[in-house]
Structure 1
Amino acid sequence: MTDPNLPPVTPPPTGQPPTGQPPIYQPPAAPAYGAPAAPAYGQNGAYAQAPADKYNVLAIVSLVSAFFISLVAIITGHIALSQIKRTGEKGRGLAIGGLVLGYLGVLAAIIVIIVWFVVIVAAVNDGSISGY
């Protein structure tokens, strides 16, 4: 029952408690979690381009392996450049750096082998090293 001495309570517009009453606490709604979105496809059923903020893994491998195994750096650097061109990922500079260091490593190895061969041939001709 309502008290005839009180003014009538009129509901305010949308979502507000009636005037004269304290507001009622309503917890925020939980975020909606749905199924993950299906991958986007481009032309001919190929996956869409990768996000631009992702680095190409082979570019990183190319740069790191340039300090240890130059041939691996050259191979992974070329593969990384072709993938970067196709997908738009970051890491072009890393791949080029790995290629440059890889080719310099191969060049240094070739020079060392040639110098070693020349030193051995000179030592044999000089008589410092005798065969049997």
Structure 2
Amino acid sequence: MDKQNNPYGVAPKATTHEQVTYAPVKNNSLAITSLILGLLSIFLSLITAIPGVITGHMALSKIKNAPMDYEGKGMAITGLILSYLFIILSLLFIFAIIYMVMEIPGFKESLSEGFNEGVQPGMQH
């Protein structure tokens, strides 16, 4: 190489192809836990759905803060979706049961009678 093409006057060094190794990326255990709890909430409802939401958000936070160290974003999101879905369905079911019980003929009257009987003695001093 001549000095006209190379202003530094030094021949470039031959490049070597070094093998770059990366630490293995591991699945986030909280993401796996969230997915399992979300699936179990099909049968166990709020008992596993609420912890599924908590672990799902924790997993997403860890994955966001260290994306080179953890995988499992899809599992965490799936666990969150399932958990939130079954929380909503469980609450709707609970409200439907309460509504149906309140619509039983005579139930409202018996509640108000029981309430009035409990309040009246306390008011007569």
TM-score (norm 2): 0.59
Equivalent in 59, 73, 80 of residue 80 of structure 1: 59
- What is the aligned residue count? 81
Larger Rg: 1
Deviation at 1:85, TM superposition (A): 0.8
Q: Paired residue for 1:112?
A: 93
Deviation at 1:129, TM superposition (A): 8.7
Percent identity of paired positions between Structure 1 and Structure 2: 33
Deviation at 1:128, TM superposition (A): 6.9
Matches within 5 A, 1:47-126: 51=23, 53-66=25-38, 67-68=40-41, 69-88=48-67, 89-123=70-104, 126=105
Specify which structure has the higher proportion of helix.
2
**Greater relative contact order (CA < 8 Å, ≥ 6 in sequence):** 2
Gaps of 5+ in 1: 1-49
Aligned Cα root-mean-square deviation (Å): 2.1
Give CA-to-partner distance per residue, 1:51-87, whole Å, 9 cap, x none: 4531000000000011231000000000000100111
Shift >6 Å, 4+ stretches: none
Gaps of 5+ in 2: 1-21, 42-47, 115-125
Contact 1:52 1:90 in 2 (8 A): no
